[in-house]
Chains A and B, each alone.
Chain A
Amino acid sequence: MSDTKKFLYVNRKPPYGTIYALESLEVVLIGAAFEQDVSLAFLDDGVFQLTRGQNTDAIGVKNFSPTFRALGDYEVTKLYVERESLEARGLSEGDLQEITYEDEDDDWEEKPSIRVVSRAEMAKIMADQDVVLSF
């Protein structure tokens, strides 16, 4: 398809406290219907959106972190996480939930969606996009 554009959704805010993280995810899910080449980036406090074992009972809002695991069904399979942002917060890849997709071109093999990349690699990924949306 010649009119496919590369979209990158950049997430910099923690999952709760503001509506940015949830809104970003909703836009991604809605936008997935347009069959574009969609990636997500997680930087700064945005890396907290993907942490495992979230529990929002005490703050009375919905824990939407399981929804990231549905992204594969929406053919959103590239979740880039910046290594420096993780390290600055004392986190590593093991603190993030496992998110996988089934690769249609490889006999539906399950593959990880999260790719931890360096700041320099993230800059290249951003430069390579047609559209960058910041949340």
Chain B
Amino acid sequence: MASLTIDNVKKRYGQTEILKGINISIAAGEFLILVGPSGCGKSTLMNSIAGLEDVSEGRILIGDKDVTFASPKDRDIAMVFQSYALYPNMTVAENISFGLEMRKVPKEEREAEVQRVADMLQIGHLLKRKPAQLSGGQRQRVAMGRALARRPKMYLFDEPLSNLDAKLRVEMRTEIKKLHQKLGTTIVYVTHDQIEAMTLADRIAVMKDGEVQQLGTPQEIYDNPANLFVAGFMGSPAMNFVPAKVVEQNGSYALELQAAAPTVVPFPKAEKLAAYVGKSILLGLRPEMITEPQPHKEGAEFVTTANVEVEVTEPMGADTMVITRIQDAEVNCRCNPAYPAAPGKVIELMFDTSKAVAFDEATGQRIDL
């Protein structure tokens, strides 16, 4: 187990900069998730940590040791790959013990270790099989087993669940989380799936275009996204961005929305809006903050009701997503399935702005931070 420090790491291929100065540091035992759309540099960063790619500038420290120029085998890192990368010509047992063999661990110890890992992952019955004879989920387990056998300082997971079907993915997700809680190891995990990021991470680094947009705990990132990109990327359905005009009201500031009729909603950190009076900004509001009118919230400080016209409804079982439109922006609202919302009808909705955030339309940056 070791901490990880990534210090101003840059990576260039010719003229193009893939990583533009990454700074991340996590403590020993933390579960870090690198998340972002494809091409954001998260895989390059992971390969750089593993030593499979050289960095152009900056330092990488594992524990206190500078490993920037160390070769992969000297970094004491294990990795689980997206394609699992199991050696096709070796049995499961040989796959798991190969790394130990390369490190010249005696045979008896290797066998004991294979047994330990197999018990932990419940793959004992598969040890004699070849990878081609395994199902996707079994391969995934073996790939994890191979990483666990070496007891390295740190584990790297490169989109390990993306080749599994939806049900298995949820199961394995839980299993990885349990494993982390049990072993308490340092893990760096790359994914483009924001649900995986939210559920697994101690800390999330949201990346885009070779830069870390925000580094924080899942809750920080969900509640306090640093900019439009992070806000839109994390959370499903995505956060609504409603165009709103900043108005002066009772000596403070508030936001005016063009619902069925112009509606003024209060904003928690109104003083930050001062510079934008009379201008348009984007109000960020999660779908669960726009609901059918709820009696127990009636009259609360940041709650407003307004009428809107329904475009589409999407029943999801527990909730029904009501999709409406405010000034050309599509707005998702999470309503009770019993609430009578039908396409074309004008209904009353309750806007809870206590956790609302505001973004500059031009720069996409948060205004109220």
Decide if A and B are genuine partners.
no
Q: Which residues of B contact A (CB under 8 A)?
A: none
Q: Which residues of A contact B (CB under 8 A)?
A: none
